[in-house]
Protein backbone atom coordinates (compact mmCIF):
# COMPACT_ATOMS: atom_id res chain seq x y z
CA UNK A 1 0.00 0.00 0.00
CA UNK A 2 2.24 2.74 -1.35
CA UNK A 3 1.17 6.29 -0.83
CA UNK A 4 1.80 9.79 -1.91
CA UNK A 5 2.36 12.23 0.84
CA UNK A 6 0.57 15.28 1.89
CA UNK A 7 1.97 18.76 1.31
CA UNK A 8 0.44 22.11 2.04
CA UNK A 9 -0.91 24.07 -0.87
CA UNK A 10 -0.03 27.72 -1.35
CA UNK A 11 -2.54 29.64 0.70
CA UNK A 12 -5.37 31.27 -1.18
CA UNK A 13 -7.51 34.06 0.17
CA UNK A 14 -10.31 31.57 0.86
CA UNK A 15 -8.01 29.21 2.74
CA UNK A 16 -6.53 32.06 4.75
CA UNK A 17 -9.96 33.17 5.90
CA UNK A 18 -10.46 29.73 7.36
CA UNK A 19 -6.96 29.48 8.86
CA UNK A 20 -6.84 32.92 10.56
CA UNK A 21 -8.56 33.95 13.72
CA UNK A 22 -10.25 37.30 14.26
CA UNK A 23 -6.92 38.79 15.32
CA UNK A 24 -5.43 37.96 11.91
CA UNK A 25 -3.00 35.49 13.43
CA UNK A 26 -2.83 31.91 12.28
CA UNK A 27 -4.78 29.60 14.57
CA UNK A 28 -2.98 26.70 16.21
CA UNK A 29 -3.62 23.43 14.44
CA UNK A 30 -5.29 20.40 16.01
CA UNK A 31 -3.00 17.37 15.78
CA UNK A 32 -4.43 14.40 13.87
CA UNK A 33 -2.55 11.13 13.64
CA UNK A 34 -3.57 8.92 10.72
CA UNK A 35 -3.00 5.21 11.20
CA UNK A 36 -3.43 2.15 8.99
CA UNK A 37 -6.97 1.03 8.09
CA UNK A 38 -8.38 -1.60 10.43
CA UNK A 39 -10.74 -3.13 7.88
CA UNK A 40 -10.25 -4.87 4.55
CA UNK A 41 -10.19 -2.48 1.58
CA UNK A 42 -12.91 -2.65 -1.08
CA UNK A 43 -12.82 -1.76 -4.74
CA UNK A 44 -14.40 1.58 -5.60
CA UNK A 45 -15.64 0.77 -9.14
CA UNK A 46 -14.74 3.01 -12.06
CA UNK A 47 -18.46 3.66 -12.63
CA UNK A 48 -19.14 4.47 -8.95
CA UNK A 49 -20.10 8.09 -9.63
CA UNK A 50 -23.56 8.71 -11.01
CA UNK A 51 -26.30 11.29 -11.44
CA UNK A 52 -30.04 10.82 -11.08
CA UNK A 53 -32.65 12.82 -13.00
CA UNK A 54 -36.41 12.99 -13.08
CA UNK A 55 -37.87 10.95 -15.95
CA UNK A 56 -39.78 14.04 -17.08
CA UNK A 57 -36.49 15.52 -18.31
CA UNK A 58 -36.94 13.33 -21.40
CA UNK A 59 -39.84 15.57 -22.47
CA UNK A 60 -37.06 17.74 -23.91
CA UNK A 61 -35.48 15.38 -26.45
CA UNK A 62 -32.56 17.79 -26.95
CA UNK A 63 -31.41 17.74 -23.34
CA UNK A 64 -29.81 14.30 -23.17
CA UNK A 65 -28.58 14.61 -26.73
CA UNK A 66 -25.21 14.41 -28.52
CA UNK A 67 -25.79 18.07 -29.42
CA UNK A 68 -25.88 19.26 -25.80
CA UNK A 69 -22.14 19.83 -25.76
CA UNK A 70 -21.98 21.81 -22.51
CA UNK A 71 -23.79 19.08 -20.54
CA UNK A 72 -21.57 16.46 -22.16
CA UNK A 73 -18.50 18.35 -20.97
CA UNK A 74 -19.79 18.50 -17.41
CA UNK A 75 -20.59 14.77 -17.34
CA UNK A 76 -17.20 13.85 -18.77
CA UNK A 77 -15.36 16.11 -16.34
CA UNK A 78 -17.19 14.38 -13.52
CA UNK A 79 -16.46 10.78 -14.56
CA UNK A 80 -15.28 8.92 -17.62
CA UNK A 81 -17.31 5.83 -16.66
CA UNK A 82 -20.45 7.01 -14.86
CA UNK A 83 -24.07 5.88 -14.54
CA UNK A 84 -27.15 7.99 -15.38
CA UNK A 85 -30.33 7.00 -13.59
CA UNK A 86 -33.72 8.18 -14.88
CA UNK A 87 -36.66 7.87 -12.50
CA UNK A 88 -37.73 10.08 -9.62
CA UNK A 89 -41.21 11.08 -8.56
CA UNK A 90 -42.11 12.36 -12.03
CA UNK A 91 -41.62 8.84 -13.40
CA UNK A 92 -44.89 8.02 -11.60
CA UNK A 93 -46.91 10.20 -13.97
CA UNK A 94 -44.95 10.52 -17.24
CA UNK A 95 -46.65 9.18 -20.42
CA UNK A 96 -44.97 7.21 -23.21
CA UNK A 97 -45.81 7.86 -26.86
CA UNK A 98 -46.39 4.16 -27.53
CA UNK A 99 -48.67 1.61 -25.85
CA UNK A 100 -50.94 3.04 -23.15
CA UNK A 101 -50.82 6.65 -24.26
CA UNK A 102 -54.60 7.05 -23.94
CA UNK A 103 -55.00 4.83 -20.88
CA UNK A 104 -57.49 6.72 -18.62
CA UNK A 105 -55.45 6.04 -15.48
CA UNK A 106 -52.31 7.38 -17.14
CA UNK A 107 -54.16 10.46 -18.39
CA UNK A 108 -55.39 11.12 -14.84
CA UNK A 109 -51.84 10.56 -13.61
CA UNK A 110 -50.48 13.33 -15.82
CA UNK A 111 -53.09 15.73 -14.47
CA UNK A 112 -52.38 14.57 -10.91
CA UNK A 113 -48.66 15.28 -11.32
CA UNK A 114 -49.06 18.69 -12.94
CA UNK A 115 -51.29 19.87 -10.13
CA UNK A 116 -49.57 18.36 -7.09
CA UNK A 117 -45.89 17.61 -7.70
CA UNK A 118 -43.15 19.93 -6.46
CA UNK A 119 -40.44 18.16 -8.53
CA UNK A 120 -40.92 20.24 -11.69
CA UNK A 121 -38.02 22.60 -10.76
CA UNK A 122 -35.78 19.52 -11.15
CA UNK A 123 -36.18 19.59 -14.94
CA UNK A 124 -34.86 22.21 -17.34
CA UNK A 125 -36.99 25.29 -18.21
CA UNK A 126 -38.14 23.82 -21.52
CA UNK A 127 -39.91 21.02 -19.66
CA UNK A 128 -41.07 23.29 -16.85
CA UNK A 129 -43.02 25.20 -19.51
CA UNK A 130 -44.36 22.00 -21.06
CA UNK A 131 -45.55 19.78 -18.22
CA UNK A 132 -47.96 18.01 -20.58
CA UNK A 133 -45.15 16.52 -22.66
CA UNK A 134 -44.27 12.85 -23.07
CA UNK A 135 -41.34 10.49 -23.46
CA UNK A 136 -40.72 9.94 -27.16
CA UNK A 137 -38.69 7.49 -29.23
CA UNK A 138 -36.67 10.44 -30.47
CA UNK A 139 -35.70 11.23 -26.88
CA UNK A 140 -34.57 7.63 -26.41
CA UNK A 141 -32.49 7.73 -29.60
CA UNK A 142 -30.89 11.01 -28.56
CA UNK A 143 -30.23 9.60 -25.10
CA UNK A 144 -28.13 6.82 -26.62
CA UNK A 145 -26.09 9.40 -28.51
CA UNK A 146 -25.55 11.34 -25.29
CA UNK A 147 -24.45 8.24 -23.38
CA UNK A 148 -22.01 7.37 -26.15
CA UNK A 149 -20.57 10.87 -25.96
CA UNK A 150 -19.98 10.68 -22.20
CA UNK A 151 -19.28 6.91 -21.99
CA UNK A 152 -21.88 6.39 -19.24
CA UNK A 153 -24.43 3.62 -18.69
CA UNK A 154 -28.15 3.82 -17.89
CA UNK A 155 -30.62 2.77 -15.19
CA UNK A 156 -34.14 3.28 -16.56
CA UNK A 157 -37.27 3.40 -14.39
CA UNK A 158 -40.77 2.45 -15.53
CA UNK A 159 -44.00 4.29 -14.67
CA UNK A 160 -45.24 1.68 -12.21
CA UNK A 161 -47.61 4.05 -10.43
CA UNK A 162 -50.13 4.64 -13.22
CA UNK A 163 -48.63 2.81 -16.19
CA UNK A 164 -49.10 -0.82 -17.18
CA UNK A 165 -47.04 -3.93 -17.82
CA UNK A 166 -47.94 -3.71 -21.53
CA UNK A 167 -46.67 -0.14 -21.72
CA UNK A 168 -43.48 -1.13 -19.87
CA UNK A 169 -42.83 -3.92 -22.38
CA UNK A 170 -43.28 -1.58 -25.34
CA UNK A 171 -41.07 1.05 -23.74
CA UNK A 172 -38.46 -1.51 -22.67
CA UNK A 173 -38.17 -2.84 -26.21
CA UNK A 174 -37.47 0.65 -27.56
CA UNK A 175 -34.98 1.43 -24.79
CA UNK A 176 -33.15 -1.89 -25.03
CA UNK A 177 -32.86 -1.69 -28.82
CA UNK A 178 -31.49 1.84 -28.63
CA UNK A 179 -29.17 1.40 -25.64
CA UNK A 180 -27.59 -1.97 -26.32
CA UNK A 181 -24.78 -2.49 -23.81
CA UNK A 182 -25.31 1.01 -22.41
CA UNK A 183 -28.34 -0.36 -20.50
CA UNK A 184 -27.43 -1.39 -16.96
CA UNK A 185 -30.93 -2.18 -15.64
CA UNK A 186 -34.65 -1.50 -15.69
CA UNK A 187 -36.40 -0.61 -12.42
CA UNK A 188 -40.07 -1.31 -11.67
CA UNK A 189 -41.36 1.62 -9.65
CA UNK A 190 -39.98 4.67 -7.86
CA UNK A 191 -40.44 4.54 -4.07
CA UNK A 192 -43.31 2.07 -4.36
CA UNK A 193 -43.04 1.54 -0.60
CA UNK A 194 -44.89 4.85 -0.30
CA UNK A 195 -47.65 4.13 -2.83
CA UNK A 196 -50.13 3.22 -0.09
CA UNK A 197 -49.94 6.81 1.15
CA UNK A 198 -51.36 8.09 -2.15
CA UNK A 199 -54.79 6.55 -2.91
CA UNK A 200 -54.36 7.62 -6.52
CA UNK A 201 -51.63 4.99 -6.93
CA UNK A 202 -52.53 2.10 -4.60
CA UNK A 203 -54.91 1.29 -1.77
CA UNK A 204 -53.93 1.97 1.82
CA UNK A 205 -51.91 -0.88 3.28
CA UNK A 206 -49.99 -1.57 0.08
CA UNK A 207 -47.06 -3.74 1.16
CA UNK A 208 -44.13 -5.64 -0.29
CA UNK A 209 -46.10 -8.82 -1.01
CA UNK A 210 -48.58 -6.91 -3.15
CA UNK A 211 -45.75 -5.08 -4.86
CA UNK A 212 -43.84 -8.24 -5.65
CA UNK A 213 -46.86 -9.96 -7.16
CA UNK A 214 -47.18 -7.04 -9.58
CA UNK A 215 -43.42 -6.90 -10.09
CA UNK A 216 -43.30 -10.51 -11.28
CA UNK A 217 -46.06 -9.83 -13.81
CA UNK A 218 -44.23 -6.79 -15.15
CA UNK A 219 -40.93 -8.66 -15.43
CA UNK A 220 -42.57 -11.55 -17.25
CA UNK A 221 -44.37 -9.18 -19.65
CA UNK A 222 -41.22 -7.19 -20.40
CA UNK A 223 -39.12 -10.29 -20.95
CA UNK A 224 -41.65 -11.60 -23.43
CA UNK A 225 -40.40 -8.75 -25.67
CA UNK A 226 -36.90 -8.30 -24.28
CA UNK A 227 -35.85 -11.82 -23.22
CA UNK A 228 -32.68 -10.88 -21.38
CA UNK A 229 -33.90 -7.62 -19.86
CA UNK A 230 -31.83 -6.81 -16.73
CA UNK A 231 -33.66 -5.66 -13.61
CA UNK A 232 -32.69 -3.89 -10.39
CA UNK A 233 -34.69 -2.74 -7.41
CA UNK A 234 -36.79 -2.28 -5.41
CA UNK A 235 -35.83 1.45 -5.53
CA UNK A 236 -37.42 2.33 -2.20
CA UNK A 237 -37.28 5.56 -0.23
CA UNK A 238 -35.98 3.50 2.69
CA UNK A 239 -37.23 0.25 4.20
CA UNK A 240 -33.93 -1.54 3.68
CA UNK A 241 -34.68 -4.02 6.47
CA UNK A 242 -37.99 -5.02 4.88
CA UNK A 243 -38.47 -4.23 1.20
CA UNK A 244 -34.84 -4.36 0.06
CA UNK A 245 -34.07 -7.51 2.05
CA UNK A 246 -37.24 -9.26 0.85
CA UNK A 247 -36.56 -8.24 -2.73
CA UNK A 248 -33.00 -9.53 -2.42
CA UNK A 249 -34.16 -12.91 -1.18
CA UNK A 250 -36.91 -13.39 -3.77
CA UNK A 251 -34.90 -12.21 -6.78
CA UNK A 252 -31.68 -14.01 -5.86
CA UNK A 253 -29.84 -14.82 -9.08
CA UNK A 254 -32.34 -12.90 -11.24
CA UNK A 255 -31.50 -9.27 -10.55
CA UNK A 256 -28.30 -7.42 -11.40
CA UNK A 257 -28.40 -4.96 -8.52
CA UNK A 258 -30.18 -3.90 -5.33
CA UNK A 259 -31.22 -0.24 -5.13
CA UNK A 260 -32.79 2.21 -2.70
CA UNK A 261 -32.56 5.90 -1.83
CA UNK A 262 -30.78 7.92 0.85
CA UNK A 263 -31.13 11.55 1.89
CA UNK A 264 -28.81 12.72 4.66
CA UNK A 265 -31.44 14.88 6.36
CA UNK A 266 -34.81 16.50 5.85
CA UNK A 267 -37.37 17.71 5.26
CA UNK A 268 -36.02 20.93 3.81
CA UNK A 269 -38.80 22.91 5.49
CA UNK A 270 -37.49 21.99 8.95
CA UNK A 271 -35.39 24.86 10.39
CA UNK A 272 -33.31 22.30 12.29
CA UNK A 273 -31.75 21.15 9.01
CA UNK A 274 -28.42 22.97 9.17
CA UNK A 275 -24.94 22.70 7.67
CA UNK A 276 -23.68 21.50 11.04
CA UNK A 277 -26.21 18.66 11.04
CA UNK A 278 -25.30 17.72 7.48
CA UNK A 279 -21.62 17.55 8.42
CA UNK A 280 -22.12 15.65 11.68
CA UNK A 281 -19.43 13.14 12.49
CA UNK A 282 -21.77 10.14 12.41
CA UNK A 283 -25.17 9.99 10.70
CA UNK A 284 -27.18 7.25 12.49
CA UNK A 285 -29.56 6.87 9.55
CA UNK A 286 -26.68 6.22 7.17
CA UNK A 287 -25.10 3.65 9.47
CA UNK A 288 -28.47 1.93 9.77
CA UNK A 289 -28.80 1.80 5.99
CA UNK A 290 -25.28 0.42 5.58
CA UNK A 291 -26.02 -2.36 8.06
CA UNK A 292 -29.30 -3.19 6.32
CA UNK A 293 -27.69 -3.21 2.89
CA UNK A 294 -25.05 -5.66 4.11
CA UNK A 295 -27.75 -8.07 5.32
CA UNK A 296 -29.78 -7.71 2.11
CA UNK A 297 -26.78 -8.29 -0.14
CA UNK A 298 -25.83 -11.41 1.79
CA UNK A 299 -29.43 -12.66 1.54
CA UNK A 300 -29.17 -12.33 -2.24
CA UNK A 301 -25.94 -14.27 -2.37
CA UNK A 302 -23.78 -11.20 -2.89
CA UNK A 303 -25.90 -9.14 -5.29
CA UNK A 304 -24.30 -5.66 -5.33
CA UNK A 305 -26.05 -2.57 -4.00
CA UNK A 306 -26.19 0.93 -5.53
CA UNK A 307 -27.73 3.99 -3.88
CA UNK A 308 -29.49 5.17 -7.03
CA UNK A 309 -31.19 8.33 -5.72
CA UNK A 310 -30.19 10.58 -2.88
CA UNK A 311 -28.76 13.88 -1.79
CA UNK A 312 -28.20 16.20 1.15
CA UNK A 313 -31.77 17.07 2.21
CA UNK A 314 -35.04 15.60 0.96
CA UNK A 315 -37.84 17.84 -0.17
CA UNK A 316 -35.81 19.52 -2.88
CA UNK A 317 -32.80 20.54 -0.83
CA UNK A 318 -32.08 23.40 1.58
CA UNK A 319 -31.17 26.81 0.18
CA UNK A 320 -27.80 27.95 1.51
CA UNK A 321 -26.78 24.37 2.32
CA UNK A 322 -27.63 22.00 -0.53
CA UNK A 323 -26.52 24.56 -3.13
CA UNK A 324 -23.54 25.75 -1.09
CA UNK A 325 -20.06 24.62 -0.14
CA UNK A 326 -21.31 22.54 2.82
CA UNK A 327 -22.81 20.09 0.32
CA UNK A 328 -19.43 19.66 -1.39
CA UNK A 329 -17.71 18.65 1.86
CA UNK A 330 -20.60 16.35 2.75
CA UNK A 331 -20.69 14.51 -0.57
CA UNK A 332 -16.89 14.09 -0.73
CA UNK A 333 -17.00 12.26 2.59
CA UNK A 334 -20.30 10.44 1.93
CA UNK A 335 -19.18 8.91 -1.35
CA UNK A 336 -15.92 7.59 0.06
CA UNK A 337 -17.62 6.37 3.23
CA UNK A 338 -20.18 4.22 1.41
CA UNK A 339 -17.60 2.98 -1.09
CA UNK A 340 -15.69 1.59 1.88
CA UNK A 341 -18.96 0.01 3.07
CA UNK A 342 -19.25 -1.94 -0.19
CA UNK A 343 -21.71 0.16 -2.21
CA UNK A 344 -20.91 -0.18 -5.92
CA UNK A 345 -22.12 3.33 -6.73
CA UNK A 346 -24.18 6.38 -5.85
CA UNK A 347 -26.44 8.54 -8.02
CA UNK A 348 -26.90 12.06 -6.71
CA UNK A 349 -30.34 13.38 -7.62
CA UNK A 350 -30.97 16.74 -9.22
CA UNK A 351 -31.57 18.62 -12.42
CA UNK A 352 -33.00 21.98 -13.44
CA UNK A 353 -32.77 24.66 -10.78
CA UNK A 354 -33.43 22.49 -7.72
CA UNK A 355 -31.41 23.50 -4.67
CA UNK A 356 -29.57 20.19 -4.45
CA UNK A 357 -28.74 19.64 -8.10
CA UNK A 358 -25.01 19.09 -8.83
CA UNK A 359 -25.47 20.64 -12.30
CA UNK A 360 -27.81 23.59 -12.81
CA UNK A 361 -29.81 24.05 -16.03
CA UNK A 362 -31.74 27.30 -16.30
CA UNK A 363 -32.61 29.98 -18.83
CA UNK A 364 -29.32 31.68 -17.92
CA UNK A 365 -26.98 28.66 -17.86
CA UNK A 366 -27.23 25.38 -19.75
CA UNK A 367 -25.03 23.27 -17.48
CA UNK A 368 -23.40 25.07 -14.54
CA UNK A 369 -21.59 23.07 -11.83
CA UNK A 370 -22.87 23.73 -8.32
CA UNK A 371 -20.58 23.31 -5.26
CA UNK A 372 -21.63 19.66 -4.82
CA UNK A 373 -20.21 18.87 -8.26
CA UNK A 374 -16.69 19.64 -7.00
CA UNK A 375 -17.13 17.37 -3.98
CA UNK A 376 -18.13 14.57 -6.36
CA UNK A 377 -15.01 15.24 -8.42
CA UNK A 378 -12.97 14.93 -5.23
CA UNK A 379 -14.33 11.48 -4.39
CA UNK A 380 -14.09 10.34 -8.01
CA UNK A 381 -10.30 10.58 -7.75
CA UNK A 382 -10.30 7.26 -5.87
CA UNK A 383 -12.47 5.37 -8.38
CA UNK A 384 -10.64 2.26 -9.54
CA UNK A 385 -8.71 2.03 -6.26
CA UNK A 386 -9.03 -0.40 -3.35
CA UNK A 387 -10.03 1.89 -0.49
CA UNK A 388 -10.53 1.66 3.25
CA UNK A 389 -11.16 4.15 6.07
CA UNK A 390 -8.08 4.99 8.13
CA UNK A 391 -8.00 4.79 11.90
CA UNK A 392 -7.54 8.25 13.41
CA UNK A 393 -6.11 9.50 16.68
CA UNK A 394 -8.23 12.62 17.17
CA UNK A 395 -11.53 13.84 18.52
CA UNK A 396 -11.93 16.27 15.62
CA UNK A 397 -14.57 15.84 12.93
CA UNK A 398 -12.10 14.44 10.39
CA UNK A 399 -12.11 11.37 8.16
CA UNK A 400 -9.36 9.81 6.08
CA UNK A 401 -9.38 7.15 3.37
CA UNK A 402 -6.48 5.22 1.90
CA UNK A 403 -6.72 4.04 -1.70
CA UNK A 404 -4.22 1.76 -3.42
CA UNK A 405 -3.83 0.51 -6.97
CA UNK A 406 -0.63 -1.34 -7.77
CA UNK A 407 2.24 0.90 -6.75
CA UNK A 408 0.02 3.97 -6.55
CA UNK A 409 -1.58 5.26 -3.39
CA UNK A 410 -3.91 8.14 -2.59
CA UNK A 411 -4.76 9.48 0.83
CA UNK A 412 -7.99 11.48 1.08
CA UNK A 413 -8.56 13.65 4.16
CA UNK A 414 -11.85 15.46 4.78
CA UNK A 415 -11.79 18.07 7.55
CA UNK A 416 -15.40 18.84 8.47
CA UNK A 417 -14.39 20.91 11.48
CA UNK A 418 -13.69 24.65 11.62
CA UNK A 419 -10.25 24.05 13.10
CA UNK A 420 -7.12 23.71 11.01
CA UNK A 421 -5.52 20.30 11.50
CA UNK A 422 -1.92 19.15 11.46
CA UNK A 423 -1.75 15.65 10.01
CA UNK A 424 0.82 13.01 10.90
CA UNK A 425 0.96 10.25 8.29
CA UNK A 426 1.36 6.54 8.99
CA UNK A 427 5.03 5.59 9.44
CA UNK A 428 5.35 3.70 6.17
CA UNK A 429 4.04 6.66 4.18
CA UNK A 430 6.28 9.26 5.74
CA UNK A 431 9.19 8.50 3.44
CA UNK A 432 7.05 8.36 0.28
CA UNK A 433 7.35 11.07 -2.30
CA UNK A 434 4.24 13.11 -2.89
CA UNK A 435 3.75 13.90 -6.58
CA UNK A 436 0.32 15.54 -6.66
CA UNK A 437 -2.16 17.11 -4.30
CA UNK A 438 -5.82 17.89 -4.89
CA UNK A 439 -7.63 20.36 -2.65
CA UNK A 440 -11.35 21.03 -2.17
CA UNK A 441 -12.11 24.38 -0.55
CA UNK A 442 -14.56 27.26 -0.43
CA UNK A 443 -14.88 30.73 1.11
CA UNK A 444 -17.44 29.53 3.71
CA UNK A 445 -19.91 26.71 4.27
CA UNK A 446 -22.72 28.90 2.89
CA UNK A 447 -20.76 30.04 -0.18
CA UNK A 448 -22.50 29.36 -3.49
CA UNK A 449 -19.63 30.69 -5.57
CA UNK A 450 -15.86 30.48 -5.28
CA UNK A 451 -15.74 26.75 -4.53
CA UNK A 452 -12.64 25.13 -6.00
CA UNK A 453 -11.30 21.66 -6.63
CA UNK A 454 -7.71 22.07 -7.77
CA UNK A 455 -4.57 20.06 -8.38
CA UNK A 456 -0.92 20.99 -8.07
CA UNK A 457 2.27 19.16 -8.93
CA UNK A 458 4.57 18.36 -6.02
CA UNK A 459 7.96 16.79 -5.45
CA UNK A 460 8.48 16.59 -1.72
CA UNK A 461 8.78 14.09 1.07
CA UNK A 462 6.99 15.12 4.25
CA UNK A 463 6.00 13.64 7.58
CA UNK A 464 3.36 16.19 8.44
CA UNK A 465 0.98 18.52 6.63
CA UNK A 466 -1.74 20.98 7.50
CA UNK A 467 -5.33 20.99 6.26
CA UNK A 468 -7.43 24.12 6.72
CA UNK A 469 -10.74 24.03 8.51
CA UNK A 470 -13.70 23.02 6.34
CA UNK A 471 -11.55 21.71 3.51
CA UNK A 472 -10.41 18.41 2.03
CA UNK A 473 -7.27 17.17 0.35
CA UNK A 474 -6.01 14.17 -1.56
CA UNK A 475 -2.33 13.34 -1.54
CA UNK A 476 -0.97 11.06 -4.24
CA UNK A 477 2.14 9.02 -3.55
CA UNK A 478 3.90 6.38 -5.52
pLDDT tens string for the chain (478 positions)?
222 222 222 223 333 333 333 333 445 789 999 998 989 999 999 999 999 999 999 999 999 999 999 999 999 999 999 999 999 999 999 999 999 998 998 888 888 888 889 999 999 999 999 999 999 999 999 999 999 999 999 999 999 999 999 999 999 999 999 999 999 999 999 999 999 998 889 999 999 999 999 999 999 999 999 999 999 999 999 899 999 999 999 999 999 999 999 999 999 999 999 999 999 999 999 999 999 999 999 999 999 999 999 999 999 999 999 999 999 999 999 999 999 999 999 999 999 999 999 999 999 999 999 999 999 999 999 999 999 999 998 889 999 999 999 988 999 999 999 999 999 887 777 777 777 899 999 999 999 999 999 997 665 555 558 899 999 999 988 6
CB atoms within 10 A of CB 436: 18
Task: Output the CA torsion sign for 296, 302, 308, 311.
Answer: positive
Task: Give start-end residues of each CATH 3.20.20.80 domain in the chain.
Answer: 49-380
Q: What is the pLDDT of residue 464?
A: 59
Homologous superfamily, domain 49-380: Glycosidases (3.20.20.80)
Compute CA distances 28 → 23, 284, 395, 407, 411, whole Å. Answer: 13, 31, 16, 35, 23
411 near 37, Cβ under 8 Å? no
Rounded to whole angstroms, how far apart are CA atoms 148 and 134?
A: 23
CA nearest to 192, candidates 179, 204, 201, 180 = 201
How many CA atoms does the CB half-sphere of 23 hold within 13 Å?
4
CA 84 centroid distance within chain:
10
> Quick check: helix, strand or coil at residue 16?
helix
CA nearest to 135, candidates 111, 155, 110 = 110
Domain 13-43+387-477 has CATH 3.40.50.720: no
CA nearest to 46, candidates 379, 472, 296 = 379
Task: Give start-end residues of each CATH 2.60.40.1180 domain in the chain.
Answer: 13-43+387-477
Q: What is the pLDDT of residue 34?
A: 92
Rounded to whole angstroms, how far apart are CA atoms 139 and 136?
A: 5
Rounded to whole angstroms, how far apart are CA atoms 385 and 32?
A: 24
Amino acid sequence: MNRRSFVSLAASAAAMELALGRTGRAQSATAVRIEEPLVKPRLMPLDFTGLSYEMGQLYNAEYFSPRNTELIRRFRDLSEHGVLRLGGHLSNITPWEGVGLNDPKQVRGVRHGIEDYWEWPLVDPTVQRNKKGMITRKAITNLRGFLDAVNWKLIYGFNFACGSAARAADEAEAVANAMGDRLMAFVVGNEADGFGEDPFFRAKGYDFNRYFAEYETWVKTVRAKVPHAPFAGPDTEGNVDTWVREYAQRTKGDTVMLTSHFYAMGPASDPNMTAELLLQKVNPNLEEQIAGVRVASEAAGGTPYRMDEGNSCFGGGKDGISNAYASALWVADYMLHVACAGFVGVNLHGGGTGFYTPIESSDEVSAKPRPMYYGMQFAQQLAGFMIAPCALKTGANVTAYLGTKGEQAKLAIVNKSAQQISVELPQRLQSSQSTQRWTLRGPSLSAKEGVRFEREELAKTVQETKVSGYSAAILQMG
